[in-house]
Amino acid sequence: MRFAVIVFPGSNCDRDMYHAAKEVLGEEADLVWYQNSNLENYDGILLPGGFSYGDYLRSGAIAATSDVMEQVKVHAREGKPVLGVCNGFQILTESGLLPGALMRNKKLSFMCHQEELIVENNETMFTTGYKKGEVVRYPIAHGEGNYYCDQETLKELKANNQIVFTYQNNPNGSVENIAGIINKEGNVLGMMPHPERAVEKVLGSDDGLILFQSIVKNWRESYYVTNA
């Protein structure tokens, strides 16, 4: 499987994402500068954390208008996996690939520590390696991770089983403790906690490795069925 790790001006978790995909998983991965809008040779897209464009206007707002995001949308429409973490999640909501918005943390301060998450949906291409209800540990590192959506959108998220991860102890005020959601089609996941920083025990947790392994396993199964 070949991953594209999209790098925007201000991204700072791109190397972590690359390391998880290339060095830990052992899959092909490239750091792709945001001005390269040709993603047709990639099987999966990874939008890393950081502060794209210095978080001017709103976090992820400027990056969402870049040419490469038009290609990410094409990729998503084709059913290929797209993972946005932290700033990547913010970009996904700003670009309309996921509903809702990320606001300032409830206590208006930057948070950086390990959090326990509950796997609410283990039937996505990102989470089949987990058990439903399993508690996993990922680090968070954000100042604007407070997920918000209106009541109608929240009803849809629940009805379609789009809430993938929730916080065990909500650190930022997110509605319904939401830590990660998926699109209706099930191939675009956005989350604030960092699975790429939880792929080796030396980092304090390797619970995030299962997420990346799930992507690869499900992509391979889908690829071989499609190309049989």
Distance (Å, rounded) from C-alpha 18 to C-alpha 24? Answer: 9
Which of 197, 149, 196 has its CA nearest to residue 176? 149
Indicate if 28 belongs to the active site: no
Distance (Å, rounded) from C-alpha 102 to C-alpha 186? Answer: 20
Q: What is the residue type of 114?
A: Q
Which of 123, 131, 117 has its CA nearest to residue 177? 117
Task: Find the Cα–Cα–Cα–Cα dihedral 53, 54, 60, 63, rounded to 10°.
Answer: 0
Indicate if 196 belongs to the active site: yes
Alpha helical stretches, state H, 34-147: 67-77, 87-94
Q: Which two tokens stand for residue 30?
A: 């490239």
Indicate if 75 belongs to the active site: no
Contacts of 36 (CB under 8 A, 6+ apart): 68
Long-range contacts, 206-209 (Cβ 8 Å, 24+): 207/136, 207/137, 207/138, 208/20, 208/136, 208/138, 209/20, 209/24, 209/25
Q: Which of 13, 86, 142, 144 is catalytic?
A: 86
Q: Which of 27, 94, 144, 196 is catalytic?
A: 196
Active-site annotation, residues: 86, 194, 196
